[in-house]
Amino acid sequence: MGLTSRSLEYATVLAALVCVGLTVWVWPRLARRGPVAVLGRLGVIAVTQLTIITSFAVAVNTQFDFYGSWGELLGHVDKAPATVTALGKSGVYSTVGAVQGRLVQPAGPQGLDRVKGLPHGPAAQVGRVESVRIIGRRTRAVDPGFVYLPPQYFQKQYHRQRFPVMVTISGYPGGIMNLAQYLQVPQTAQRLLQQNKMQPTVIVMVRPTIAPPRDTECVDVPGGPQAETFFTKDLPEAIKQTYRVGHDPSAWGALGYSSGGTCSLQLAMRNPNVYTSAASLSGDYKIADDLTTGSLFGSGPAGARRRREHDLVWRLKHLPVPNVSVLAASSRQGEKDYADTMKFLHAVKSPMTSAQIILPRGSHHFTTWLREIAPAMQWMSGQLTFPQDITPAPAKHRPGATAHKPASAPAHSPTTQAAGRPRR
């Protein structure tokens, strides 16, 4: 009987009802005085409470897939990294620090001081993680964030070099702490860089909602929070103003888990002039209203149109296909989005390219996402173009002075886009 099966859910509910019935039936017999009767009453109460709590926990887990199997619940899980598979039309083929800038401001630790495994040492050797607040010039939103800067960012030979950007987005209601502490994004980036499996990249870690506690799903809500505008205009503007990052869309990608994965796909497919790659770990492929979102699209024909346009499979069938690369991750067992994931991947067509991470079993939980995050980040690094432009030279190197030799890109950084998508 599987941990997420309906039969287990029904069995635990039935057991709870039986225990309640038995408690009512035997209680008069346990109403006598004496230690045996007292122990009997305590035992009946304990068993009844235990079965009720168990039935509730099983029902919640069945609904949200926190644990996909008994092995995951007991900690017996496969921790080997997942594998990325490229897809074609016919199927499978081959530290907190001070930040200067009006729109990015330094923040307190925001929990970063409790995260283990962050870069520790000279920034030019191990990189740095900064705790910041990102100010939306258009939306007036203030979003907390962490920014990972690779060691090369601080090295002399790259002092004028721009870097690609990976925007990583947490799930809802999780915050940026989940990205650093549980998904281990900066720790993974540091390890991949050391293994020469990832090009130096600035990683911006944010949450999906800009108006907590409302789940905005990265949507511009009519008369409400303008989340899509924040992620496609405000955030890129703030990061470009503050850090040495690429200005071309080919240098920008979005990656997230759960609601953050949904956002990543939506942002890239709806705004290919901002993000040209997206990776989704256990995300959805369309957005619907619920108790946490409220009305995201409004009513009437205009609301229906906005809802359709946030259905990614519908977009692939009815609208021009964007020139972006996407990765979708799911599990054959334990994840409810597997069928939708395959439907989405099968709908992808040129010029869009796709890849997948499909585990035999998993769940909507960090145990699964930790297996997927390293290959997903490595895949995305291969999609992002390392910027060839450099920052303006200091005054002494401007016309009339000695020319400054541009810093070259790292030897392992791609100089062209991934196959199937021309370099912009």
Residue ending a domain, choose from 34, 64, 94: 64
Q: Which residues touch 189 (CB under 8 Å, ≥6 apart)?
A: 127, 148, 150, 198, 201, 203, 377
Task: Give dist(CA 179, CA 200) in Å, integer.
Answer: 19
Q: What distance in Å separates the CA atoms of residue 248 and residue 281, rounded to the nearest whole number?
A: 25
Do the strands 277-281 and 252-257 form a parallel or antiparallel pair, or are they unpaired? parallel
Q: Does residue 136 share a domain with residue 262? A: yes
Which DSSP helix (H) or strand (E) runs through 308? helix 300-309
Residue type, 267: L
Check whether residue 125 and residue 51 sit in a common domain.
Answer: no
Tell me: do 232 and 343 sit in the same domain.
Answer: yes
Strands of the 85-88 sheet, one edge to the other: 91-93, 85-88, 353-361, 325-333, 277-281, 252-257, 165-169, 202-206, 142-149, 128-135, 104-106
Do 95 and 58 fall into the same domain? Answer: no
Please check whether residues 125 and 16 belong to one and the same domain.
Answer: no
Residue 14 is assigned to a structural domain of this protein: yes
pTM for the model: 0.75
Q: Which two tokens stand for residue 332?
A: 């054959």
User: In terms of domains, do 44 and 141 share one?
Assistant: no
- Is residue 11 located within the same domain as residue 136? no
Hey, what amino acid is at 283? G
Task: Looking at the structure, tell me whether residues 36 and 92 fall in a common domain.
Answer: no
Give a yes or no: residue 75 inside a domain: no
CA distance 119 to 63: 37
> Are the beta carbons of 94 and 86 closer than 8 angstroms?
yes
Q: What is the pLDDT of residue 414?
A: 37
For the chain, counts of helices (H) and of strands (E): 13, 11
Is residue 116 domain-shared with residue 46, that is, in the same domain?
Answer: no
Query: What is the extent of the structural domain holding 59?
Result: 6-64
For 92, residues 6+ apart whose C-beta sits below 8 A from its C-beta are 85, 86
In a domain, 396, yes or no: no
Please check whether residues 144 and 25 belong to one and the same domain.
no
What is the model's pLDDT at position 59?
78
DSSP state of 292: T
The pLDDT value given to residue 91: 34
Q: Is 388 within a domain?
A: no
- Side chain identity at 205, as an amino acid letter? M
DSSP string, 251-289: GEEEEEETHHHHHHHHHHHH-TTT-SEEEEES--SS---
Is residue 321 situated within a structural domain?
Answer: yes
**Number of compact structural domains in the chain:** 2
**Structure tokens, 324:** 């972006």
Cβ partners under 8 Å of residue 405, min gap 6:
none
Q: Which pair of tokens denotes residue 226?
A: 């303008």
CB of 202 closer than 8 Å to CB of 163: yes
Over the chain (424 residues), the average pLDDT of each successive run of 10 is 73 89 84 80 88 84 56 54 51 35 84 88 94 93 95 94 97 89 95 96 95 91 95 96 95 97 97 97 94 92 95 96 97 92 96 96 91 97 90 54 40 38 39
The per-residue pLDDT for 92 is: 31
Which candidate, 76, 112, 114, 61, places its Cα nearest to that of 367?
Answer: 76
Assess if residue 55 is contained within a domain. Answer: yes
Looking at residue 30, its pLDDT comes to: 78
Radius of gyration of the CA atoms of the chain, in A: 25
Q: For residue 420, what pLDDT is reported?
A: 38
Whether 25 and 106 map to the same domain: the answer is: no
In a domain, 174, yes or no: yes
Q: How far apart are CA 231 and CA 387, in angstroms?
A: 21
Q: In the beta sheet, which residues pair with residue 133?
A: 105, 144
CATH number at residue 124: 3.40.50.1820
Contact 269, 312 (CB under 8 A): yes
Same structural domain, 91 and 163: yes
What letter represents residue 294's amino acid?
A: G
DSSP label of 232: I
Q: What are the strands, taking DSSP E only, across 140-260?
A: 142-149, 165-169, 202-206, 252-257
Q: Is residue 79 included in any domain, yes or no?
A: no
Measured distance CA(110)–CA(210) in Å, rounded:
16
